[in-house]
Each structure stands twice: as structure tokens, then as C-alpha cells.
Amino acid sequence: MLGNRFISFYSDLESDSLDSDGIELSLEEQMRGMRLEEMSEDGDKSVSKLSNLKIFDKSGTSTKLNSVLDKIHSVTRGKTRDKCVVVSQWTKMLEIVGHHLSDRGISHAVIQGNIPAKKRMDLVDDFNMNPDGAQVMLVSLRAGGVGLNLIGGNHLFLLDSHWNPALEEQACDRIYRIGQSKNVFIYRFLCKDTIEEKILGLQTSKLSLAKAVLTGCEATSKKLTLNDLRMIFGV
């Protein structure tokens, strides 16, 4: 949930986007709202004050999201009617993108971890073979790295950076496979002066180390080290 809220704050990247709809709660109230509590009998009614703020509504936009949507619109509405694959490590972010794609009249499908294998393959086949089917496939980073063939799309969008570059490489390979007949385009979206730049630096460091020490072997660590965390948070 915290990851989804972090993404929601991209709408405040530009100073002129700050307005009266921002968070007006005190720091103490905000911390209280993020506290873990036992579920009440009311279920969904026991939502913190923060969750009801407009900034967390999935209909909200951001500088990054607007850039992604505009590019997808130009690709899917172009002369060649190319299809797109959108990858994020946050399933809530995919929900937000899907909401805005629907608003723009762009058909889409979703593949994430909770999709049964049979339905997943049906979605893949329709995306690859049906020119009138979904124009955009929304894929979670983990699900997208496991044996999917999405050659129906030739534009892939990485919405957020993962500290392990191997996962992103696997996701990008979904559209660059045998049977792909079009030029492939990969787009990475980063926000300047944010933690995303530090994660990109961490990726570069890990790739350089892997190439220098174990060329041709699977050398990318599957865990964050203490030094990695220090690099990301600048401590």
C-alpha cells in the first residue's frame, strides 16, 4: 500500500501542481493513519483518513502518468496501429493506468500473479493474434518475467525502476522474441531528482560488477545489500 501512495505523489512533482487538495493533516495525524491496526467488523469502513484524500484517488494524474498515456495514445492511434506492453512492479499502479486507458477509449488486458494459467494464456493468444483485441497489455514485473510471449506488442513501457536489473531485462524480452516482425521500442520513465535516479545508479553498478566479475554467468544478486541501501538513501 505504501508503494501505491508513493506513486500517487508523482502528481506533485511540479511545484505549480500543489493546491488546496494536498494533505492538510498534521504529521501526527498522518503517522496515526499509517499505523497497523486489527481489522474491525466494518471491514472497508475502517479506512484511514489518508486513503480518502483526493491525492490517492486512482483517477488522479501525474507528470509521469500523463507522459505515459500520451505516448501510448500516439502509438495505438498511429498508422501502423502498434500494440503496447506496460510493466510495473506495483499492481495498484497498473490499476491506475488501466483506469485512465479506459477513459481514453484504449482497450487493455491485465496479467499479474493472481491470473490463472489458462486465462493468462488466453489473454496472451488474443493479444498476439487478434488485431481488434486489447491494444495494451498491463503486466506486473514478476508475472512478466516468467515465460510470456507478447510479440503482439512492440512498444514496452517500464513505469518504475526495480533495483534488480535482471527482472527488467526479462520483462523487456517478452516482446523481443522469435516471431516478432516489427521494430521493438523500450521506454523507461524516470522522475528527475527522485529516488528513481539512485535506483538507476544501483542498477548500473550491479550490471558493471556482473560483467567484470562473472561475464556470461548469472551474477546479479537477488537481495539488497547494506551498501545498496546506503546508496539508494544517501546515508
Q: Enter the C-alpha cell of residue 91.
A: 499492481
Number of other residues whose CB lies within 10 A of the CB of residue 177? 12
Q: How far apart are CA 10 and CA 33, in angstroms?
A: 20
15-64: pLDDT as tens digits? 444 444 445 555 666 666 665 555 555 545 545 555 666 666 777 778 89
Quickly state the pLDDT bin for 213 (edges 50, 70, 90): low
Q: What is the mean pLDDT of residues 85-104?
A: 94
Residues of the chain with CATH 3.40.50.300: 63-188
Q: What is the mean pLDDT of residues 100-117?
A: 93
pTM tops 0.85: no
Q: Which of 1-5, 154-158, 203-207, 219-223 has the lowest mean pLDDT?
A: 1-5
169-179: pLDDT as tens digits? 888 899 999 99
- Work out the mean pLDDT of the chain and round it to a whole number: 77
pLDDT confidence of residue 31: 61
Please give the class, per CATH, of domain 63-188.
alpha beta
pLDDT confidence of residue 80: 87
Backbone angles phi, psi at 231, to 5 degrees: -65, -45
Residue 146 has pLDDT above 90, yes or no: no
Residue 154 has pLDDT above 90, yes or no: yes
Q: How far apart are CA 111 and CA 86, in angstroms?
A: 10
For the chain, what percent of residues have pLDDT higher than 70?
A: 63
